[in-house]
Each structure stands twice: as C-alpha cells, then as structure tokens.
Structure 1
Amino acid sequence: MKTRKRKNQAPRKTMLIVGANEKEALFFSQVRKDARYSNLSVEWAGGESDLEKLISIASRKRSSGKFNEVWLVFSFVDLNVDVETVKRLIPIANKKKVNLCWSNPGINLWYLFHFRGANGLITDSNSIDNAIKKEIPDYKNTAKYLRTEGLDFYQRICVKDNDANRNARAYNEAVENVLGLPAINYIELHLAIIENCGAANFTQNQRTIGM
C-alpha cells in the first residue's frame, strides 16, 4: 500500500497589529476573530499619543513577542499629527521594522469607503460619521460602541472590503498631490494580512450579515 507523501508547509508568519487608539485595536480584534486568523495578534498601545514613542512601543512588542511583522495603526485626528510629521517619522519606523498604517482624518474614513467613495477632500470627521450613520443607524465613532452594540461591526461591513479598497485607491489618487501623502493606506495592511494570514474564513452566516 502506497503511503501518501505530505507536503512540507512552511509555518505562517506571525503578525502583530498595534492600535494607537483603542478603537483601532478593537476593530482589528474583530477582524482577527471573525476571519479566524490564528497567527494575527492585536494589541492596544495603552493611550500613548506621541507617534515617535508609539513607533518605539511597536518595535519593542515586535522583538519581545518574536513577531515576523508588525503594523502600527493610527489616525491623524487622534494623534494630532500632520503630513510633515508622518513623512519625517516614516524612515525611523522603517529602521525599526515597523510598518505604518494611517488614516487622515481617522479610521472612520476606512469604514465610509465600504459604502461609498468621495468626490473631494474630506477633513471633517463628523461629516464622515454622519454619512456612515445613513448606512448603519446605530453607529458611533467610539471604542464603547465596538465593545457593545457594534460588537459585530466588522461582520456588517466585511462583505464590502473590496469596495473599500477600490474607493480608497481612487481617493488617494485624487488627493495625494494636495496632501503630499496618501490619505489612507489601509490597502497595504489589508494585503499584508491576506499574504501572512490567508483568505478570511467566514461562516455562511457571517457572509450574509449586512447584505
């Protein structure tokens, strides 16, 4: 009787996402749980608001946890940073092997792109929230929401991830020359998650929520 040869599979790389804000950590914790990514870890930076210090925190977490790849997720509005500050710190982050993932003004821009694009530059976070509420009436741009009524928030929008990527690309092309930097680079993080963790493993119920 012939024995079946087992293919040698390299172990998946371990990946860490550090959320500068608790909202970001909670959102990507939902991504990790709902998509069943066993080699993805998500942590909150604990309230630090200085971007350079956050880069150092993420770097230490990468080393102490022996992660292959680490991403620091932050928003311009929460850290009160500008484009020049981020551009100055990108080389420092690269040196410390920390990938930066930002949104300008905030993570709610990424949520919005799941439902629609933008015709012009968006700088007002409140207007973004109001647009999202038209799609998800109980939505609130708070960490408490993601822990309570919005515990299934990612399940509600995950079926539109491809729309979000497409809308984010179009928006960046339109505003990068004005801002001097892409407004949002969640696309790169999304691709890194797929590369390191594989395609999301949703149940049928999860696929149909929000459709």
Structure 2
Amino acid sequence: MKDLRAVFFDFDGTLVDSERFYFEAWKPILKQHFAVDLDFETWIQYFAGHTLARNILTMKELWGVDVKEEFMWKSTRENYANQDMLTIPLMPHARELIDFLMERDIQMGLVTSNFRPTVERMLEHYGLLQHFSWFVTREDVVNPKPNPTCYQKALLLSGFDTSEVVAVEDTATGSRAAYDAGLTCIAVTKQKAERDRLDFVDHLLFDLKEVNDLLR
C-alpha cells in the first residue's frame, strides 16, 4: 500500500490476546449470581468487542438477566485485578508488525473501547506506549463502536485522509465502525463466529503476520 501513512489499531483481541482473560473474569460471576454457564464460543459470538453496557443488554436478551451496570462494573473489575492484566500477552506477530511500521515511518494510533489508563499501563508494560501517536479510548466518545465516531475522531487527530489510513480490527463491531468511517479495514481473527460476520471488510486475515505481508 504505497500511499499508507498511518495504521489505526484496535486493542483487545487485535494487539493483545485478551479475550480469554475477559471471559475467565466474567464466567464465575455469571455462574455464581445468575446460574449461567458461559462458554468461550458464546463469549466470542455475543460479547467480545462490546462495551459493558451493551453486554448487560445482551445478558438480558439471552438469559433474561436483569442486572445493574454498577454491579457488573465492580464485579468484573475485581476479577480483572485478581487475575492481573499485565499477564495478558501480545498477539502473535504484534511486535514484528509494529517494528515494521516504525521502520517505514508509518504512524500508529489506537482506537479502542477500553479505557485509557488500562491501555497506557499495558502498552507501557510491553514497551510500546511511545510508538503510538494518537489515542481514542472509551472516555473520548459518547457512542462507542460500532458507531464510526471513534475513527472519525482518530482521523481528525491524525490529520490524514481516509485514503492514507488503514484500520486493523478483530470483530465485526469494530470493523463496522472503521468501515463506516470510510477507512480501509483489515479484520484479523481465527474465530469462525466473527469471520462469518466480516464479509464486508476489505481484507479478512488470520493473524498479524498476514497483515505485515499485506502492508509491505
């Protein structure tokens, strides 16, 4: 992609292998308080890539669970803290891709539904924080993904045109936000439930090595 000036990355499930971490935090809460036996496939199909508020609505739709956001916020944060988020690994080939983009002087931004303190802490832990020029996090938008506002805001911060930027995502939720903002969207996932929903993206790949090869 000869005109490429920047790459906007999603965070969870795209740069860091965090979906099983979140699943393991949610599973005992649903089992103990609501008698719901959550499995990983259901997590990926209905919960991955969504905000807490959206996931609470999904719980009601799937299982008739009616719970306040405050309770789930407190319960999930306690479990996240007990598990230690700094144990979450980078996705395979993430560091190599970032190194390649740096070598080519292609700038990087992060567009995520996660919160900025969490993202900054984890990127600092990986030694990658300084490589990202722009951040759009959950605090920065009223309407999160799949609303395109987050990517529109990232474009304004970067000063680049949509033709000069690609987005890398792992879910249909995030990919829809990027696509509707007018960006070339690369979706990277091995999960069949997600791949079945990603027929609208420009490129559907299996891992970040394939992204590296595509951008060369």
Larger radius of gyration: 1
Q: Give TM-score scaled by structure 2 length.
A: 0.34
